[in-house]
Amino acid sequence: MSIGLAIFLGLVQGISEFLPISSSGHLSIFQNLFKLNYSEDEHMLFDVMLHVGTLAAVFIFYWKDIKAMVVDSVSFVTGSKSASGEEGRFKPSVRMVFLIIMATLPLFIILPFNDSIGTLATNTPFISFALIVTGLLLYVSGKLTEGRKNEKTASVLDVLIVGAAQAIATIPGLSRSGTTITVGLSRGFKREFAVRFSFLMSIPAILGSALLTFIKALVNGGIVWANLPAYLIGMVVAGVVGYFALVLLKKLLVVGESFSKFAYYCWGAGLLSLVLSLFIS
């Protein structure tokens, strides 16, 4: 793999992983239409490292939330006193950990279907249709009234439904963030909480996916160490670009912009890729 291709794919991953436009859909479309073939068995490690890059962006961006969840959870489990001298208790940050765990459970239901879902990545017309569906979801999200639920008031049923949406969004072309944020808003989440919960709940999902892909790469001999420099550059690019994509989303949230504007992009990208797939074989 060339360094130029690694940088390009890192850019695509970093932008589309967090903006609600489907990273899996974009990577698959570029691969299918332009014969990039980056995801063949010998480049499976690159898939893992791209996700590690965007995962690092989540950790950096939400570091205060993650630190609070870890420290307060340890304090709660051990009953020790926190830095402020208070004994461990069921704080909102601890409840957030519980909600994320519950939201992750639906992913285990689709594990047996991972290989079948993976085959859809080669079907450009299907991915194009899925992008159009993502656009519809984003358009609907802009019409939903903001609720009041947050980590203190969201129910187990709420997060299980959002978790089920995350599981469904493993289909290439469906945006994980767009789908989960829209479903969260439909369950009465505050917009800020819907976005924050969507990305924090992605941590175990991305970690699990990266681990499974890495194991598969080891088993199938899908690691070519000579490509490691290009892989590392792609990972760094994905992480840096992903961080700024998160910054952009936060700014949109602050100024009250909805994610429905991304709907028009998804519709355009879906239609364009569908047309191109008819002429490029």
Q: pLDDT tens digits for 182-205? A: 999 999 999 899 999 999 999 998
Coil vs helix vs strand at 2: coil
Residue 89 pLDDT: 56
Residue type, 1: M
Residue 82 pLDDT: 52
Q: pLDDT tens digits for 167-176? A: 999 999 999 9
Residue 33 pLDDT: 85
Domain boundaries along the sequence of the chain:
3-279
pTM of the model: 0.89
On the question of pLDDT at 257 being above 90, the answer is no
Tokens 């006193």 belong to which residue?
81
Token reading at 223: 């690691």
Three-state SS sequence of 171-224:
CCCCCHHHHHHHHHHHCCECHHHHHHHHHHCHHHHHHHHHHHHHHHHHHHCCCC
Q: pLDDT tens digits for 139-154? A: 998 888 889 999 999 9
On the question of pLDDT at 11 being above 50, the answer is yes
- Is the separation of the CB atoms in 87 and 81 below 8 Å? yes
